[in-house]
A = this chain, B = another copy of it.
Amino acid sequence: MAFSFELLHTDAASSASSGPRRGRITTTHGIIETPVFMPVGTQGTVKAVTPETLHDVGAQIILGNTYHLFLRPGHELIERLGGLHTFMNWSGPILTDSGGFQVFSLGKLRKIDEDGVKFQSHLDGSSKIITPESSIQIQQALGADIVMVFDECIPYPSTRGYTIDSTARSMRWAQRCRNIHDRNDGSGLFGIVQGGMYEDLRRESAQSLIDIGFDGYALGGLSVGEGAEQMYAVMDYTLPLLPSQQPRYVMGVGTPENLVEGVRRGVDMFDCVMPTRNARNGLLFTHTGKISIKQAQYEDDSEPIDPLCDCYVCRNYSRAYLRHLYKSNEILASMLNTQHNLHYYLHLMQQMRSAIEHGDFARFYADFYSMRA
Which residue numbers of A lie inside 8 Å of B, CB to CB? 43-45, 47-50, 72-73, 77, 80-82, 87-89, 299-300, 302, 316-318, 320-321, 323-325, 327-328, 330-332, 334-336
Min CB distance, A123 to chain B, in Å? 9
The answer to whether B73 and A324 touch across the interface, beta carbons within 8 angstroms, is yes
Contact (A302, B81) CB under 8 Å given A44-B321, A47-B330, A328-B43: yes
The answer to whether A45 and B300 touch across the interface, beta carbons within 8 angstroms, is no
Known: A45-B330, A45-B332, A50-B335. 16 other contacts (CB 8 A): A43-B330, A44-B325, A47-B331, A48-B332, A48-B335, A73-B327, A77-B300, A77-B320, A80-B300, A81-B302, A81-B318, A81-B320, A87-B318, A87-B321, A87-B324, A331-B331
- Give which listed residue, B50, B73, B89, B324, contacts A72 with CB less than 8 A: B324
Cross-chain pairs A/B with CB under 8 angstroms, 5 sampled: A48-B331, A72-B324, A73-B320, A81-B318, A88-B321
Q: How far is the CA of A311 from the CA of B280 in the complex (A)?
A: 27
Min CB distance, A48 to chain B, in Å? 4
Cβ contacts under 8 Å, A302 to chain B: 81-82
Number of copies: 2
The answer to whether B50 and A332 touch across the interface, beta carbons within 8 angstroms, is yes
The answer to whether B327 and A72 touch across the interface, beta carbons within 8 angstroms, is yes
The answer to whether B318 and A45 touch across the interface, beta carbons within 8 angstroms, is no
Min CB distance, A119 to chain B, in Å? 19
Q: How far is the CA of A330 from the CA of B77 in the complex (A)?
A: 18
Nearest residue (CB) in B for A69 is B324
Min CB distance, A339 to chain B, in Å? 9
Q: How far is the CA of A330 from the CA of B327 in the complex (A)?
A: 20
Q: How far is the CA of A337 from the CA of B19 in the complex (A)?
A: 46
Nearest residue (CB) in B for A317 is B89
Contact (A328, B50) CB under 8 Å given A89-B317, A320-B81, A321-B88: no
The answer to whether B331 and A335 touch across the interface, beta carbons within 8 angstroms, is yes
Cβ contacts under 8 Å, A87 to chain B: 318, 320-321, 324
Min CB distance, A258 to chain B, in Å? 26
Q: How far is the CA of A104 from the CA of B44 in the complex (A)?
A: 43
Q: How far is the CA of A272 from the CA of B328 in the complex (A)?
A: 20
The answer to whether A321 and B43 touch across the interface, beta carbons within 8 angstroms, is no
The answer to whether A45 and B334 touch across the interface, beta carbons within 8 angstroms, is no
Nearest residue (CB) in B for A318 is B81
Min CB distance, A110 to chain B, in Å? 22
Q: How far is the CA of A234 from the CA of B240 in the complex (A)?
A: 80
The answer to whether B89 and A325 touch across the interface, beta carbons within 8 angstroms, is no
